[in-house]
Structure 1
Amino acid sequence: MATKITYTQQGDYLLPDLKLPKQPKVEIGIWGKRHLRYIKQHHPIIYTNLLTSCKLTAYLADIDEEATEMFDRLVKQLAECEGVTELLKAENQMLWVRKMNNIRNRAVEIVNNDLIYT
């Protein structure tokens, strides 16, 4: 079965009207969006290869899932190590919030350094 190729005139040239196949609709979270922005800016060849091979969406979904799991695991582990418990939350909410914000910020930095910006 032959595919009909159409062309568009651009000045003196006829350029083929190329379109990428539709990629599946997958919801990409914050981690996947950060990584997408990073590879577009710093690794354009990798970005182009993933895009033209129709693997970009699946790749970003995998990165997003892995980063989310890593973030959740790190927050839990750091909270356990530092004794940030529900008891502390009940006794001193402001101290608990400060400690949890600190833990979450450190976990974000670790995920960014290990997965997102590499």
Structure 2
Amino acid sequence: MNMMNRNVTYSTVGDYQLPNLTLNQPQKPLGRYGRMRRMYLMENRPVLYNSMLLTGKLHPHLLEVEQAAENQKQQMMTELLKQNPAPDKAKNQLMWVQHMNSLKAQVEEVILMELIYN
């Protein structure tokens, strides 16, 4: 087996010498859907989660899920508003808020089932 020569530093922890290792991950923070997907993978698919984490594929996957969820959310809200127009916000603000929250809940349920818990 051909090993590359690397300069690895070590830290002493108790009686052990542990290598100082870091994963190079982009520092772009995850949004709500990316964090939800990460929790789902950690709790329900630990082998896949650890594999993706160790190969550096986890963070890009989570960012991709985040972007897909946001895009789907915008598209579905637009479609639902075309099919079910909201009441006039100026005349009846409470009905408008209730209507928009109802549409948002429908969209959220689809996103969770199709992208997060899939």
**Normalising by the residue count of structure 2, what TM-score does the alignment of the two structures yield?**
0.83
Q: For structure 2, which runs of at least 5 residues remain unmatched after alignment?
A: none
Contact 1:30-1:64 within 8 A present in 2 as well: yes
Q: Segments of 4+ in structure 1 off by > 3 A?
A: 4-11
Give matches, 1:1-118, under 5 Å: 2-4=5-7, 6=10, 17=19, 19-84=21-86, 88-118=88-118
Contact 1:26-1:57 within 8 A present in 2 as well: no
| Equivalent residues, number | 114
**Normalising by the residue count of structure 1, what TM-score does the alignment of the two structures yield?**
0.83
Q: Structure 1 residue 38: deviation in Å?
A: 0.3
User: Structure 2 counterpart of 1:66, which letter?
Assistant: A
User: Structure 2 counterpart of 1:3, which letter?
Assistant: R
Contact 1:63-1:115 within 8 A present in 2 as well: yes
The Cα RMSD (Å) is 2.1
Q: Structure 1 residue 21: deviation in Å?
A: 2.7
Percent identity of paired positions between Structure 1 and Structure 2: 24
Q: Structure 1 residue 15: deviation in Å?
A: 7.1
Q: For structure 1, which runs of at least 5 residues remain unmatched after alignment?
A: none
